[in-house]
Amino acid sequence: MKRTILILSVLFSFPFIARADLESWKKAYEERVPGIVEHKLKMKPNFPTDLQFTKPDFVVYVPKVEPEKLGDTYDDHFQVFDKPNGKLFAVWCQASYEGAIDQHVAFSRSTDKGKTWEPPRILAGNRTLAEGIASNGAIASWGFPMVSKTGRIYITYNQHVPGKSEGIPHSAWMTGIFSDDDGDTWSKPQTISIPRTSFDPVDATIPPGWIVWQKPLRLGKEGKYLVGVSRHAKPELRETYNSATEFIRFENIDENPEPKDFITKWFMQGEKSLRNGKYCEEPSIVKLPDGRLFCVMRTGTGTPVWSISDDLGETWSAVKPLLMKDGGDPIPHSMSPCPIYDAKGNEAASGLYMLFAHNKYNAWSKSPWQNRGPLYLFAGRFQKDADQPVWFDGPKRFAERSGGNSFYTSLTVFDGKTVLWYPDQKFYLLGKIIGDNYFDGKADVEVFKPGELDLSAYSIRQHADGKPLRIDKSPKLELKNGAKSVVFDEGAKVFSDRSFVVVQCPKMLEGKRFVQSSILGVEVACRGDGMLYVLTPMKDRNRDDQSPTLLENGFEKVSQPETLLYEKFPDGIVTLYQKEIKAGETIKLGQWAVLVY
């Protein structure tokens, strides 16, 4: 089979997780942020046009890209909610980049039904690098809202504890604040108890690893707030169970308790949690017309899974792959958010649903973290006597960006309109009305069949005009700026600060090592002679190619065909260069260059 394409991860690669050392965290911030800011400032004149790419009906926030005031080039986990008084509220996670030392929980309001929004205010976490250092990295993340029947607003979030993570993603105390005046003022934060399970470290001073990614909904018994939870395992379990799904019911929100006095009931905990191999996480729940609850979760197996509860969320069935219908094809989807919502409102039990998925998964890939490209809406319809109680129509186009579609979303209904709120590229915060056209039963594209992928449309060059590949001894290199030496093989992560992984490597170079550096650039000093190779896209593949610099510095193009190094088109289609370097030489290249030796 022709090997071609792999993989963009998204999601959860946080620099602070593995660092107890604040100085290392600070250094990562200082090295990474200037490049991010430079890139976004170049894009800034195009923001008004670019944010219209997905044709939104509402614009909640466009980053200012003014890092001296506020780190805002990462905006994610976008939770919009409303109150009977007609006001809309939004809470989200914001930072210079995901997991940065300035990560914080942001909040905004609209009093005109989403037409305009107040500038964001920070409810928890660090606004700046200085604040991050002063707090020893006590960042705050992933807030989610609940509103009591009297109108008190609660925001609950992950409060990271410096030096208390043991490498577990999302390791944090559950922390809550509240407002009785629609967000004008807020209480002081209070810690909310989380029952410990076999997933958690034995040391009780280390917080559990968890995240709530959807709004709690009034789907539990007596209309109490219920929500699914991704529970992340301690290091010694993660090769077997990285994550599983549990559920929380908040028992006394309508009594307006202090957050520290929340009464919570946890269901399907520990050994009873919902699992599907290594990953089973990011649950979203809808109510069926017959009163049961239907939950969809993402996995690393190429399709989401589902479970059902007939007791309003206290117990759940064993998970099954999510199919188009009973006996139908699996819905293709990588390790990426796959929320499901009721098309008529969060707790409507209408029987009409919408699932968001990529409609793509390459089964031959070594990694579940694949490109988060175009997103499709799959309309779902309740089937009374079916095994899988929601059957899906074919995919409808929704967000067709080639990458960066990571939908940590929420839903509201007002004035009879269903609005999906989404973080476009984890950058713009937008809203889109979900019209009846998405539910006409007509597919825009076919359901993807995992299999061989064809690169013929890209006219892969053979480079017959290049020089023969020379295989010689490897040079001794001193790696700069925190870069690492990694075995050059399929599935290896290409850049330290991106999720691309190696799809193909020229056969003669398999098993060698490469320099895993920032995508923004790479620098090495030669301490012993040897043959150095560089893979970089040519100008028509990627405007940031390093070919001219390589040729100016004595590298030669090699007579090897272009290679799809990682799944990003056409940027990941690279050309091979080589040079025999000598001790004392320094090689410094900009974006999109990979050094192999």
Residue 407, both tokens = 């939908």
Please report the pLDDT score of residue 329 as a whole number. Answer: 95
Cα–Cα distance for residue pair 21/8, rounded to 1 Å: 28
Task: Select from 25, 161, 14, 144 the least CA-distant residue to 74.
Answer: 14
Give the list of residues 6+ apart from residue 222 with CB closer than 8 angstroms, or none.
Answer: none
Spell out, as residue ranges, where the chain has pLDDT lower than 70. Answer: 1-21, 167-169, 364, 366, 451-454, 456-457
Beta carbons of 10 and 406 less than 8 angstroms apart = yes
Residue 174 main-chain phi, psi, to 5 deg: -75, 125
Residue 54, both tokens = 């997905």
Beta carbons of 346 and 418 less than 8 angstroms apart = no
Q: How many CB atoms neighbour CB 293 within 10 A? A: 24
Please report the pLDDT score of residue 5 as a whole number. Answer: 29
Per-residue pLDDT reduced to its tens digit, 518-542:
998 999 999 999 999 999 999 889 8
Can you say how many angstroms the Cα of residue 137 is from the centroid of all Cα atoms in its chain?
Answer: 21
Please report the pLDDT score of residue 451 as a whole number. Answer: 67
Pairing outcome for strands 513-516 and 428-433: unpaired
Per-residue pLDDT reduced to its tens digit, 115-170:
999 999 999 999 899 999 999 999 999 999 999 999 999 999 999 998 888 766 68
Residue with tokens 């609209």: 110
Residue 147 main-chain phi, psi, to 5 deg: -125, 125
| pTM: predicted TM-score of the whole model, two decimal places | 0.80
Residue 156 is given by DSSP the state E
Sign of CA dihedral 114, 116, 118, 119: positive
CA 546-67-49 angle, 5° bins? 70
Residue 341, both tokens = 């919502």
Please report the pLDDT score of residue 19 as a whole number. Answer: 43
CA 512-517-521 angle, 5° bins? 120
Please report the pLDDT score of residue 263 as a whole number. Answer: 98
Alpha helix (H) residue ranges in 67-161: 129-134
Pairing outcome for strands 293-299 and 305-309: antiparallel
Cα–Cα distance for residue pair 418/303, rounded to 1 Å: 26
